[in-house]
Each structure stands twice: as C-alpha cells, then as structure tokens.
Amino acid sequence: MGATTVTHVTTINPSNTNIHGPVIDEVEGLIRVYKDGHVERYQLVPCVGPSLPLELGVSCSDVHIDKLTNVWARLYVPTLTKSSPVSSPNLPLLVYFHGGGFCVGSGSWSCYHEFLARLSASSRCIIMSVNYRLAPENPLPAAYEDGVNAILWIKKTRNDNLWSTLCDFTKIFLAGDSAGGNIAHHVAARLAAAADALIHPLKIEGTILIQPFFGGEARTESERRVENNMKGSVLTLAASDAWWRMALPRDANREHPYCKPVEIKKRTLVCVAEMDVLMDREMEMCDGNEEMIKRVVYRGVGHAFQILGKSQLAHVMTVEMLCHIDAFIHQCDSSV
C-alpha cells in the first residue's frame, strides 16, 4: 500500500463569526462549531511524520484504509525484540484508536506517535493506529464503522503487506484511550455480534481500554470531585458534556447507548486514572465481571497522563502502564 499524505490545516479566524454565524458549541482551545456547521480546530499538539529513531527498533509508515472517507492508519512494526531480530510470524497486532472526544485528535499527533512507538517496542507488538473520521462532521457511529472497516481491511490485505508476515492474526487486540477506548469497546461489541465468518481467520483476543470515555446524565462522585479540583485532570466536566453534544446523533443525550459500556465478552484490561472525572464510570464497568476484566488504577494522575503528563509521577505511571499492557498482551503477569 502506498503511503498517505496527511494534511492538517487549522486556522481560527475571528472574522468567521461574521461568515458562518455565531458559535454554537466550543471546547476552549480545541474546537469551535458555528451555526452553519463550519468547524474549526486548534492545532494544540503538533502533527509529525512516521519517522522514528533507528535505535528504538521500530519501523513506521502510513497506509490508506479508505480513500473515499480519507481514513488512514499509522503502522508501527518492531524490527527488534529486546536484542534479537524479529524472525518468526508471531507478533500480536494491536489496533489503536486515539482520544479527543471523538472530535479532535490524530494518529499523527506527536504525543500518540511517541507513546505508541514506545508501546510497540516494549510490548513487541505490531500497532495499527487508526485515523478515523471525526465528529461533528461525522457523528457517531461513524468512528465505530471506521473501526470495523479497519479490521476488514486487515483481513483483505493481510497477504499483501511485508509487515503481515510477522503478525499472528489470531492475536488481535483492540485498544484506545478516552474516546478511543469507547471506540475500541464498541467496535469489539459489533464484531462479537457479527458472524465469525466476517473476520475469519482473524481473531480478536481482547481489548485494552485506557481511561475509556463513557457518560450519563446523572453526575458521579468523581465527576463532582475532579470538577472542583481542576488541576487533577485535563478533561473537565464542561468539556466532557460538549464532546458528547458534538459527537452524538442529533437530539440524543448522554443516556444514549453510545455513551454506555456494553457486556464485555472478551478479555479486557481497563486502565483508570485516579484523578480523572471518568474514574467512577470506569470502575463501575468493571464491577461484577472480574473473571473477564482486569482493572488497574494509577494513583495521583489525571486523564490522558500517559500522553500529556509532564510530571515525574506521570512518567513513572506511564512506565507502569506500558508494563501492564505488555503483561496483558502476553499473559505473563497474574498481578494485572
């Protein structure tokens, strides 16, 4: 497959109020939606190409999944496992969905590029980071559909790519953080509901949900607590509500099924941040299903600490998270 050219142009123009009408929804510093449907996004995080340091031992490239919808993916393929060359076709495949409230974010954001490259190297897995369509231009379930189509693309092209010779397609994990965790969860549910023939011979082994984004009309204790201590999380309650307004189908509220977790039928790792407004919802989804769900709580850190946190504690917790994901993928740590 040829590499895709990724273009990100984001300009916030004060005169647009006159051109497009009043602003009807906004998350300050991230996105602005006008009455006529025009959307502007701030480039809060720089976008980078697929290059990586040679010493990391991971190769990277961008591929088209669907040119019609402009859905593409960034592939991370280990060239080394520890100190030995990769030589056998047994690497797990992790299909990753970035966060951003369904409305912002990119597989080319530098924070995701760095995090996923580290994860690929440390967990000895191939990673495909899916750049799905964003709301509000493409409200849910567009992102879920793109996730399913990404899996079908893997099935269709699995014999056409050099990286696929290293991959064990019976060990596929769906993963994501924040809104991406929600997408991974709902894509897994859609695939589970479909006939096995849909993705055969591929097999979804499990899901990895990092601070998955769920919601509801009633407030939880963690939503009230963190909202009163804004320094604990980059995700505020006001921003959370705005993301749902922009992402959900017209006239839907936060009781819509897209806001809720569904029954988990695959082995699942849920990574929870203690200082996250989403903590209670994530804890609740794990209750009563300990056989299937493994839950890890990262103390003293907030939402998206693993990609945006700059403190020493965030760094330490990120290293722990990478170890937990590695153990979960390779099923070698009973404490996770």
- Residues with catalytic annotation? 178
The percent helix, strand, coil of the chain (3-state, each to 5) is 35, 25, 40
The angle subtended at Cα 249 by Cα 245 and Cα 253, nearest 5°, is 50
Question: Rounded to whole angstroms, how far apart are CA atoms 59 and 84?
Answer: 15
Q: Which amino acid is at 182?
A: N
Provide the 10 A C-beta neighbour count for residue 166: 18
The reply to whether omega before 261 is within 30° of 0 (cis) is no
Which of 297, 254, 292 has the alpha carbon at shortest distance from 273? 297
Q: Side by side, which strands form the sheet with 23-27? A: 23-27, 31-34, 39-41
- Identify which of 259, 283, 33 has the alpha carbon closest to the alpha carbon of residue 134: 33
> Exposure of 169 by Cβ count < 10 A (0-12 exposed, 13-18 middle, 19+ buried)?
middle
Residues 6+ apart with CB under 8 A from 285: 212, 214, 261, 264, 270, 293
Q: Amino acid letter at 236?
A: T
Q: Which long-range contacts (CB under 8 A, 24 or more apart) does 191-199 make?
A: 191/148, 191/151, 192/265, 192/266, 198/152, 199/151, 199/152, 199/155
- Quickly list H helices, the chain: 16-20, 110-123, 142-157, 179-193, 221-227, 237-247, 279-286, 305-308, 312-330
- Angle, vertex CA 294, rays to CA 292 and CA 300, nearest 5: 155
Bridge partners of residue 60, in order along the sequence: 76
Calculate helix-pair angle for 179-193, 142-157, nearest 10 degrees. 60
